[in-house]
DNA sequence: CGGCTGACGATGA
DNA sequence: GTCATCGCCAGCC
């Protein structure tokens, strides 16, 4: 119960909770895990999780709303296509209403934290 | 065990 | 406001 065994596992868990039509940033996830500066590590976790289709990595973008990880999908248009299917408008690899559809795990996961569904260090 | 990696983020010029 | 640089932490070689 203490600290998360696998940082990656926590990342996946959070990413899976991202609702359709919403997006979040690597830094936000890292911050939830108590490692605000580990934003890069979060992205690296996705890279390793590319084999897990259950993880909507396309809903995770950088702070600027840019599809920085699109190049890592099967096809370059894969990520953008998935986002479009969810009603997210992407132009030139950038989410237009990023700020509006931004899904803040720090707030949304408060309930999960109470139910011990997600644990994070202090 | 030491060093590099990396789908980021913030700060400075 | 845009471009360039440093720092960050956890995993992997």
Write down which residues 10-69 in A have CB closer than 7 A to strand B: 25-28, 38-44, 46-47, 49-50, 57-58, 60, 62-64, 68-69
pLDDT of residue A2: 39
Confidence category of residue A119, pLDDT binned at 50, 70, 90: low
* pLDDT single digits (tens) A37-83: 889 999 999 988 775 668 999 999 999 999 999 988 888 899 999 99
DSSP letter for each residue of A32-99: HTT-GGGHHHHHHHHHHTTT-TTS-GGGEE-TT-B-TTGGGSSSHHHHHHHHHHTT--EETTEETTHH
Share of chain A above pLDDT 90, in %: 56
Which domains, ranges and CATH numbers included, belong to chain A? 7-113 (1.10.10.10)
Q: How far is the CA of A69 from the C1' of B13 (A)?
A: 29
pLDDT of residue A112: 77
């Amino acid at each position: 119960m203490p600290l998360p065994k696998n940082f990656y596992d926590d990342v996946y868990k959070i990413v899976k909770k991202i609702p359709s039509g919403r997006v979040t940033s690597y830094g936000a996830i890292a911050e939830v895990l108590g490692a605000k500066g580990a934003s890069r590590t979060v992205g690296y976790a996705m890279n390793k999780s590319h084999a897990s289709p259950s993880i909507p990595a396309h809903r995770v973008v950088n702070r600027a709303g840019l599809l920085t990880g699109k190049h890592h999908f099967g096809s370059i248009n894969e990520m953008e296509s998935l986002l479009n299917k969810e009603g997210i408008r992407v132009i030139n690899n950038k989410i237009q209403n990023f700020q509006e559809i931004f899904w803040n795990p720090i707030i949304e996961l408060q309930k999960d934290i109470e139910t011990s569904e997600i644990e994070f260090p202090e």
